[in-house]
Amino acid sequence: MGHYRSNIRDLEFNLFEVHRIQEYLGSAPFGQVDESTAKDILREVERFSREEWADSFVEADRTPLSLVDGELALPPGLAASVQAALEAGWDRLGLPEDLGGFGVTPSLFWATQELMAGANPTALFYLSGPLFARVLFAEGTNEQRELAMLMTEKGWTGTMVLTEPDAGSDVGAATTRATKVDDLTYHLEGVKRFITGGEHDASDNIIHLVLARPEGAPPGTKGLSLFIVPKYLINQDGSLGDRNGVVATNIEKKMGIKGSSTCELTFGVDRPAVGYLVGGVHDGIRQMFAVIEHARMLIGAKSAATLSTGYLNALDYAKERVQGPDLAEATNKTAPRVAIINHPDVRRLLMLQKAYAEGLRALLTYTASIQDRAALEPGAEWDARADLLLPLVKGYSSEKAYELLAQSLQIFGGSGFTQDYPIEQYIRDAKIDSLYEGTTAIQGLDLFFRKIARDQGNTLAALSAEIGEFVKGGSDSDPLSKERDLLGDLVDDAQAHLGVLVSHLVNSVQDPAQVYKVGLHSTALLESLSEVVIAWQLLRHAEVAISADPDGEDAFYIGKVASARFFVADVAPKAAARRSAAESETGDLMDLPVEAF
């Protein structure tokens, strides 16, 4: 058996029992995929993920990548996994039909991404072409839309090229230059780093989407434009032409996802790096954000998937590993040894992992269901809610997965610290999730300043009202009445926490230093709001489970109720503590001399 443990039962529960996507499958804009087809797709992707896709997981980690004259060859098994996915068409699942895709709902697409990301995240990064094709199809000129079709047909990959050695999170400090040649054609010069998939042989061509500053453009992000820079120039008939002047000049040696080629790219050294202005407009940051938002959602899916398979691996081990007597018979020297799942603290650790793994999946699928709604009912409301949830999916999921994978390893004891089991690789592969596409602190700032303050809290208020209705929705005999009350407390604490930060923001108009207090507690606010949404979703799951299994005879549904109760009880005091910390903040930390650290 391979390393990957999927939880397709819980995915199907989320999609078809909680969000009931079958009620709008088979009708526009998802007319080509009915319920039966959707389930077939999900199950086939699950099988593929467990089998040929997961096969190269270890090889990709243990086979060092190297550049030879600016070229990089993938390990054979990894290349085979990528090719298998391309042949099956799984790279095109998220594309609309007019771009050669399946026309599936976002919720079904993100469920499949969880499966593939959990089985082999390194390989998944080489299936990026359709994402970039979709952006070009939406943003490009007519000629660039034809390039998008070509990318899909030929399986070309793409990259997101933002970061520079002195301009990481501060994207607006980028200095890569774009000199106009004619019409939409430019020559780029500069160095970018940390470019995922910047060089490889998984496809015949790589289409780089590069942020650069045209001559005479203003400083900051407003001066950045987006350019198409192909590895090989493309002839009129779609065939490959000469090598373009973009070259991988270094490959990063990393802690995890080692088989993913993370490169330094140098533009315009030995020959011009020809780039084409996307859409013929200087609107780079907005255009690139279509890629960034997808990437952030993908990282949330990867985090949830990795915690889930880590937990399920630990669960299997706990059922098999015999060690020590039952605690109730610890003084009996002749007591039989038991599987460690019978030990209280092991059960605590397992339920901790189970509740959060299911919680992160619930957050992901709920957000994806809102994306479904945005497609079904076009308008600002659902788009705004999806935007509000995105930093929760990316920021909270990445932090909690990394934290709790350490508890998955703990179940294995010393064996987990070895490469005999996949947990140590899961941990190394997962750490990047809280770092790229915006660190957790940036997600917290984005949540507060862009998604709440700029919106004047309207989108959050609508979500809070919906959660409030759920809190009040139980009957006198409701088996979840205690948990509804705890959810109500959670909402109150999160709202009070938010209120404190809004007060600091208002006060900063007269006293700019007050904004530091916001920065000191915005990540904590992200945690509390994430836990409110997850607790709400898990209690919704528990309601569905109780209705489906009123006599409490089905182990899956029993587990769903247990997860919800455990999660709410675990997070409620944490939200209260964060509120208290925000309310008592003095800001003294910002007055501390640098030398005192």
User: Do 109 and 196 belong to one domain?
Assistant: no
β-strand partners of 187: 179, 274
pLDDT for the residue numbered 370: 98
Its pTM stands at 0.96
| Cα separation values, 371 from 116, 165, 492, Å | 20, 35, 27
pLDDT for the residue numbered 380: 83
User: Do 128 and 171 belong to one domain?
Assistant: no
Q: Tell me which residue of 396, 325, 406, 436 sits closest to 567, measured CA to CA.
A: 396
User: Do 103 and 170 belong to one domain?
Assistant: no
What is the separation of C-alpha 219 from the centre of its chain, rounded to a whole number of angstroms? 30
**424-452: per-residue pLDDT in tens?**
999 999 999 999 999 999 999 999 999 99
What is the separation of C-alpha 397 from the centre of its chain, rounded to a whole number of angstroms? 7
pLDDT for the residue numbered 75: 97
Tally of domains within the chain: 3
| pLDDT grade for 414, boundaries at 50, 70 and 90 | very high
Last residue of a domain, one of 217, 252, 282: 282
How is 192-261 classified by DSSP, letter by letter? EEEEETSS-SSSS-EEEEEEEEETTPPSSGGG-EEEEEESEEE-TTS-EEEEPSEEEEEE---SS-TTS-
Helix (H, G, I), strand (E, B) or coil at 578: helix
pLDDT for the residue numbered 348: 98
Residues making up the chain, counted from first to last: 597
User: Do 576 and 462 belong to one domain?
Assistant: yes
The answer on pLDDT for 90 being more than 90 is: yes
User: Do 181 and 253 belong to one domain?
Assistant: yes
**Residue 227 in domain:** yes
**370-386: per-residue pLDDT in tens?**
999 999 999 889 999 99
β-strand partners of 164: 167
Residue 504 CB neighbour total at 10 angstroms? 22
Alpha carbons 240 and 230: distance in angstroms, whole number: 10
User: Do 45 and 162 belong to one domain?
Assistant: no
| The two structure tokens encoding residue 203 | 């496809």
**Residue 366 in domain:** no
| pLDDT grade for 284, boundaries at 50, 70 and 90 | very high
Last residue of a domain, one of 282, 298, 320: 282
Mean of pLDDT values over 167-183 = 92
Q: Tell me which residue of 207, 204, 186 sits closest to 265, measured CA to CA.
A: 207
Alpha carbons 483 and 494: distance in angstroms, whole number: 16
Q: Half-sphere exposure of 135 toward its Cβ, with a 13 Å CA cutoff?
A: 28
The answer on pLDDT for 476 being more than 80 is: no
**Residue 195 in domain:** yes
**The dihedral sign for the CA sequence 595, 585, 509, 223:** positive
Average pLDDT in the chain: 96
The answer on pLDDT for 163 being more than 80 is: yes
pLDDT for the residue numbered 10: 98
| The two structure tokens encoding residue 185 | 């054609």
Q: Which of 88-102, 238-252, 269-283, 453-467 has the lowest mean pLDDT?
A: 88-102
Domain extent for 48: 8-134
The answer on pLDDT for 347 being more than 80 is: yes
Instruction: Give phi and psi for 220, each to the nearest 5.
Output: 80, -175
**Residue 223 in domain:** yes
| The two structure tokens encoding residue 289 | 């954000």
User: Do 236 and 183 belong to one domain?
Assistant: yes
User: Do 23 and 123 belong to one domain?
Assistant: yes
Last residue of a domain, one of 104, 134, 164: 134
| Cα separation values, 226 from 140, 236, 429, Å | 11, 22, 30
User: Do 173 and 97 belong to one domain?
Assistant: no
Which residues carry out catalysis?
A: 437
Alpha carbons 127 and 203: distance in angstroms, whole number: 10
pLDDT for the residue numbered 98: 87
pLDDT for the residue numbered 228: 98
| The two structure tokens encoding residue 361 | 């999946």
The answer on pLDDT for 1 being more than 90 is: no
Alpha carbons 113 and 109: distance in angstroms, whole number: 6
| Cα separation values, 545 from 281, 316, 354, Å | 51, 24, 16
Give the H/E segment covering residue 277: strand 273-277
Residues 275/184, Cβ–Cβ less than 8 Å: no
Residues 120/79, Cβ–Cβ less than 8 Å: no
| pLDDT grade for 524, boundaries at 50, 70 and 90 | very high
User: Do 77 and 178 belong to one domain?
Assistant: no
**Residue 552 in domain:** yes
Residues 89/156, Cβ–Cβ less than 8 Å: no
CATH number at residue 70: 1.10.540.10
**Residue 398 in domain:** no
Q: Tell me which residue of 531, 110, 538 sits closest to 300, measured CA to CA.
A: 110
**189-204: per-residue pLDDT in tens?**
999 999 999 999 999 9
Alpha carbons 298 and 110: distance in angstroms, whole number: 8
pLDDT for the residue numbered 169: 87
Alpha carbons 272 and 92: distance in angstroms, whole number: 32
Q: Tell me which residue of 62, 48, 1, 46 sits closest to 428, measured CA to CA.
A: 62
**Residue 72 in domain:** yes
**Residue 540 in domain:** yes
**310-320: per-residue pLDDT in tens?**
999 999 999 99
User: Do 449 and 592 belong to one domain?
Assistant: yes
pLDDT for the residue numbered 184: 93
User: Do 447 and 596 belong to one domain?
Assistant: yes
| Cα separation values, 502 from 517, 522, 556, Å | 10, 11, 42
Q: Tell me which residue of 349, 388, 355, 345 sits closest to 370, measured CA to CA.
A: 388
Neighbouring residues of 594: CB distance < 8 A, sequence distance ≥ 6: none
Q: Is 358 exposed, middle or buried (0-12, 13-18, 19+ CB in 10 A)?
A: buried
CATH number at residue 263: 2.40.110.20
Mean of pLDDT values over 523-542 = 98
